[in-house]
């Protein structure tokens, strides 16, 4: 099973505006809410909370048309993760599968590297770069990974009812 898939994208300019307005208007989640996120600043716009931006529906549909994964589900989300001097790297982890069966990442500012790690040695086996011109589909509920960079990384959850073995069919480096 693949650990990652990449797709080019040209996101509408209003996507960055939506995310920036959200982070300016609302406080981030409390520090420590997510163990893997440490002391980072993170905001989530839940799919069920449509009052914030009906335009996010268009973004999710655009991503679905390109990739073929379902981002429209009751527990779905769009999270904005701020990486800066106080949080330059998210440690090695595997995400839980209770809310998603994978994730779609892009950048609204900055550049990021997502690393695949060996489960036993933590050695970096592969790396993918994330910019505002990329959609990175990450098999994050199966493979250990870490993220580093500076800026705002956006993560959409893939429907937990999706079948990652089908979508991520193919070969990946042996992660243990």
**pLDDT tens digits, one per residue of 79-116:** 999 999 988 999 999 988 877 889 999 999 999 999 99
Query: Residue 63, Cα to own-chain centre: how many angstroms?
Result: 13
Paired tokens of 55: 């335009």
| Integer Cα distance of 129 and 37 in angstroms | 19
Give the count of alpha carbons within 13 A of 142, CB side only.
22
| Integer Cα distance of 1 and 166 in angstroms | 9
Paired tokens of 118: 């060996």
| Strand duo 4-8 + 124-130: pairing | unpaired
Mean pLDDT of all residues in 68-76: 86
Q: How confident is the model at residue 15 (pLDDT cuts 50, 70, 90)?
A: very high
The pLDDT value recorded for residue 54 is 78
| Integer Cα distance of 105 and 98 in angstroms | 18
DSSP state of 84: B
pTM given for the model: 0.91
The pLDDT value recorded for residue 50 is 65
Which bin fits 65, alpha (ψ -120 to 50), beta or left (φ > 0)? Answer: alpha
Mean pLDDT of all residues in 16-44: 82
DSSP state of 65: H
Phi then psi for residue 57, to 5 deg, are -60, -40
- Domains located in the chain, CATH noted: 4-167 (2.60.120.590)
- Angle, CA of 54, 60 and 61, to the nearest 5°: 95
- Name the most confidently modeled range: 21-35, 67-81, 141-155: 141-155
Paired tokens of 107: 């950048």
């Amino acid at each position: 099973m693949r650990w990652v898939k990449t797709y080019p994208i040209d996101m509408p300019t209003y996507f960055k505006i939506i995310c920036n307005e959200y982070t300016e208007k609302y406080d981030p989640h409390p520090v420590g809410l997510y163990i893997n996120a440490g002391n980072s600043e993170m905001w989530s716009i839940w799919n069920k909370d449509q009052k914030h931006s009906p335009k996010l529906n268009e973004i999710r549909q655009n991503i679905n048309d390109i990739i073929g994964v379902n981002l429209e589900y009751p527990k779905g989300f769009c999270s904005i993760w701020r990486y800066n001097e106080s949080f330059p790297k998210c440690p090695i982890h595997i995400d839980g599968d209770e809310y998603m069966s994978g994730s779609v990442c892009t950048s609204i500012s900055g550049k990021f590297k997502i690393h695949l790690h060996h489960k036993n040695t933590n050695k970096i086996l592969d790396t993918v770069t994330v910019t505002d011109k990329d959609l990175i589909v990450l098999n994050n509920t199966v493979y250990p990974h870490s993220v580093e960079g500076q800026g705002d990384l956006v993560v959409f959850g893939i429907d937990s009812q999706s079948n990652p073995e089908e979508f991520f069919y193919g070969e990946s480096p042996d992660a243990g």
